[in-house]
Amino acid sequence: MAPDTVSLRYFLVLAQELNFTRAAARIGIAQPALSARMRRLETELGTALLVRNTRSVVLTTAGAALAESAPPALAALDRAWDTARSAAAGDLGTLRFGYSLSTGAETTPALVDRLTRGNSGLQVSAVPMATPEISPAVADGRIDAGITRGEQPGRGVRRSLLRRERTGVQLAQHHPLAEHPEIEIADAAAYPLRLPDRAANPVIHDQLAALFQDTRPHPRFHTPAVSFDMSQHDLHDGVTLAPAGEAALTASPAGLTWRPLRDAPSLTIHLALPREQSPLHRRIRAVATTLARELHWLPD
């Protein structure tokens, strides 16, 4: 049976000091306790490590060999313990992240950056996915975590609110409504409204459409031919509006801006994790909670 590492570490101190009194004081134990430890270590190894007399301690051939070979072995063992502790704390491993494309401008990069900052043991692979596919992919283990706009349905996942955004509209800077700091829903409904393709995110599509259900006359909705046209060229006509969350304020292309809709319910972004959670999943949730608080993503 291999000796316990505590006795081995005590032996290395004694091998440096070659004096029981000084070694015991350095370790912080009584000298008789150190002597007992060394006798037990020699018994476990089946060989003498020290030659003792009243004035000195000398290493035997076996003792000198152990003093030379033990430090790298203990260092390797310490690294193994550190690796195990890191894995248990969720600081080690590979994280597969799926996110809806509309969260990729700000929310997802901020969370990934916080997870990996100063943590070289955690590798993150974040890829955009169709929003309705994210929760099923988390549930069946194809990805470890997901970020979705809206609380997406699906079994086998735990969802937590990550961010709440004011609802508004993207519009051209020269649009007649752009001069207002806040826009009435009825005023916005008087203009053509571009909604995202319902297949891309039924939850958000229906939530945005419901904002205008009581306006008269009924608004004119249309869906762009390209679901994620980063240029937003259709809004530059100075007529069309695009209902969107507040993140559009910082992600708008040149020539466009964003204004909040008065009394509109907020839009939400959610973190999806498996029901059965590993230390890595628990770390993701803890980091996400801290980040949301620091960046005021969830108003009090």
Average pLDDT of the chain is 86
**281 has pLDDT over 70:** yes
Question: With 0-12 CB in 10 A as exposed, 13-18 as middle and 19+ as buried, what is 158?
Answer: middle
Mean pLDDT value of segment 120-132: 84
What the chain holds in terms of domains, given with CATH numbers, is 5-88 (1.10.10.10), 93-162+268-294 (3.40.190.10), 167-265 (3.40.190.10)
Which residue matches tokens 């997406």? 152
Mean pLDDT value of segment 107-116: 89
CA pair distance 21, 17, nearest whole angstrom: 9
CA pair distance 11, 138, nearest whole angstrom: 51
- Comparing 204 with 116, which gets the higher pLDDT? 204
Mean pLDDT value of segment 49-68: 86
Mean pLDDT value of segment 277-287: 86
Mean pLDDT value of segment 129-154: 92
pLDDT digits (tens, 9 = 90+) for 67-77: 888 888 877 77
Under the banding of pLDDT at 50, 70 and 90, the label for residue 83 is: low
**263 has pLDDT over 60:** yes
pLDDT digits (tens, 9 = 90+) for 13-25: 989 989 898 999 9
**91 has pLDDT over 70:** no
pTM, two decimal places:
0.68
pLDDT (0 to 100) of residue 117? 81
Q: Which of 92-96, 145-149, 267-271 has the lowest average pLDDT?
A: 92-96
Mean pLDDT value of segment 140-164: 92
Under the banding of pLDDT at 50, 70 and 90, the label for residue 273 is: very high
pLDDT (0 to 100) of residue 120? 60
Question: With 0-12 CB in 10 A as exposed, 13-18 as middle and 19+ as buried, what is 299?
Answer: exposed
pLDDT (0 to 100) of residue 226? 58
pLDDT (0 to 100) of residue 154? 84
**106 has pLDDT over 70:** yes
**252 has pLDDT over 90:** no
Mean pLDDT value of segment 30-49: 90
Q: How are beta strands 193-194 and 221-222 bridged, if at all?
A: parallel
**79 has pLDDT over 70:** no
Please state, for a pLDDT cut of 70, what percent of the chain lies above it.
89
Is 193:242 a contact under the CB 8 Å cutoff? yes
pLDDT (0 to 100) of residue 118? 63
pLDDT (0 to 100) of residue 191? 93
Under the banding of pLDDT at 50, 70 and 90, the label for residue 161 is: very high
pLDDT digits (tens, 9 = 90+) for 197-238: 888 899 999 999 999 988 888 889 888 765 565 557 788 888
Under the banding of pLDDT at 50, 70 and 90, the label for residue 80 is: low
